[in-house]
Structure 1
């Protein structure tokens, strides 16, 4: 019997100047573990006249995880952080009761051709931490646990799994694992995983129970301890998952909470422009959209 409970196809979503491939939320599966939002960004080639510019915008009730395959993004926020994220590193920003950030092409790349390709992820916070003070951490590529086993390359981008712990300071039981192989391999991960699991195929393919799945698909397992499949040659996949929360999470635009009143309050605060401003970007912002629910 197949362990695949749901197949989610990447769907085009407009985030302003760019279209991304949205994986979560999905109408039949709003979350996988604590993961509530996953966008595949790119690959997109930008010329010397085009740049990635996401103006200041707010978040509450979640942590954002930015993970690039190619390209570079300059992150600025209301905690006075100004950090360039490059491929393999992790930007981990916890919004808590509220933070504002912008994401742009760095100044040194703005007048040249460049590629943008990566994952933008939101992880909902546990209920008791939804109103915590905001935080920001940048974890370099060298700090991410990486190892090889039986010809397969692993990286533990975030969380705990495989008796290892990532340097990314998460607040719930979760994992994000990169798996690569240049050769065809049988992969059995069940004993290393827990909670719910989603398998996203970036490159190559995955075979399970006589079926073949390819890029831009996410497979959601019925039971993570039965996560077993064949990885085709020259494949790269990501496993997301963890323990689901007991309470429902609501999402409206960039706001996530277990209480709709928190979202309504944040929405009005942003409309009234009462969130803190990013130093040097005080006059720019993304307006609250007319139709925002994911």
Structure 2
């Protein structure tokens, strides 16, 4: 799922006037066939934040009975997908034979490595009634040493993801280590991903990382004297102890970590080498990727 095009952004040097924020990124809506997403990364001038190369905010999308998410089998290389839902359910299938419903609070980590194919649909029990889907789907670029790793799939139930209270603010440590808690979710490089809910007036001092992006999934907050509105991402300066304050009820996601160097991205393929992407395109077009058991008949053709 790609459909990459330039998004709007605001560039700002690290100065006292700009405070904690280097860039403020505004997503554009992308139609994925029946529902839209807000795509934040990549954009011109900001391809990655740490190892994170792709950031989609799905929904909230409301479906009538008989309708729902229906993403046909498609391939990936060179990344790990990270799926997390606020509401609803997705049925994940992949070419390893994985069959896993993703529910709110769970984290699904699919390591594409040298190549994997997956589909994202819904169980009949879900589509039988009116329902809502809402969540985040992110891609982690893999370090060069892991780009051609064997594909793998990991599912982490919600009760295995640590939750801590920081000065009254509820924080979930999704990946990496923060606030004295360590997530069990597998990482390949220095990686940070937290989620937090803040009430108006509450403050949170964010964990440090080499690079960080602060996304407001709901509400509005202030960082370094600058307001960050709903559905926008603030790329933070490399200052220690950046503190944010909620202006209204706010749900935030903070991603970041270790920069991995240049990556090329085309459609669903990511690599440090352009020729590897060309090979993946040819492999998909000529049906050399593995099939998805239980979802063998359908697939998304290589775009244009």
Shorter-chain TM-score: which interval? over 0.9
CA distance in 1, matches of 2:175, 2:223: 26
Where does the alignment leave 5 or more consecutive residues of structure 2 unmatched? 1-15
Q: CA deviation at 1:222?
A: 1.7
| Counterpart in the other structure of 2:80 | 63
| Counterpart in the other structure of 2:177 | 160
| Counterpart in the other structure of 2:106 | 89
Aligned residue for 1:32, secondary structure, equals coil
The answer on whether the counterparts of 2:21 and 2:224 sit within 8 Å (CA) in structure 1 is no
Q: CA deviation at 1:224?
A: 4.8
Aligned residue for 1:288, secondary structure, equals coil
- Taking the TM superposition and a 5 Å limit, the aligned residue runs for 1:1-294 are 1=16, 2-189=19-206, 192-245=207-260, 247-290=261-304
The answer on whether the counterparts of 1:197 and 1:224 sit within 8 Å (CA) in structure 2 is no
**Change over 3 Å in CA distance of 1:157–1:209 after alignment to 2:** closer
Where does the alignment leave 5 or more consecutive residues of structure 1 unmatched? none
CA distance in 1, matches of 2:294, 2:248: 48
- Normalised by the length of structure 2, the TM-score is 0.91
Q: CA deviation at 1:229?
A: 2.2
- Normalised by the length of structure 1, the TM-score is 0.95
The CA deviation string for residues 67-100 of structure 1, in whole angstroms up to 9 with x for no partner, is 0000000000011110000001011000000000
CA distance in 2, matches of 1:58, 1:259: 17
The answer on whether the counterparts of 2:217 and 2:250 sit within 8 Å (CA) in structure 1 is yes
**Aligned-residue RMSD, C-alpha:** 1.2
Q: CA deviation at 1:183?
A: 4.0
CA distance in 1, matches of 2:128, 2:110: 28
Number of equivalenced pairs: 287
CA distance in 2, matches of 1:107, 1:50: 10
| Counterpart in the other structure of 2:13 | none
The CA deviation string for residues 122-171 of structure 1, in whole angstroms up to 9 with x for no partner, is 00000000000000000000000101121111101112223322111111
Aligned residue for 1:225, secondary structure, equals coil
Q: CA deviation at 1:203?
A: 1.4
CA distance in 1, matches of 2:279, 2:297: 22
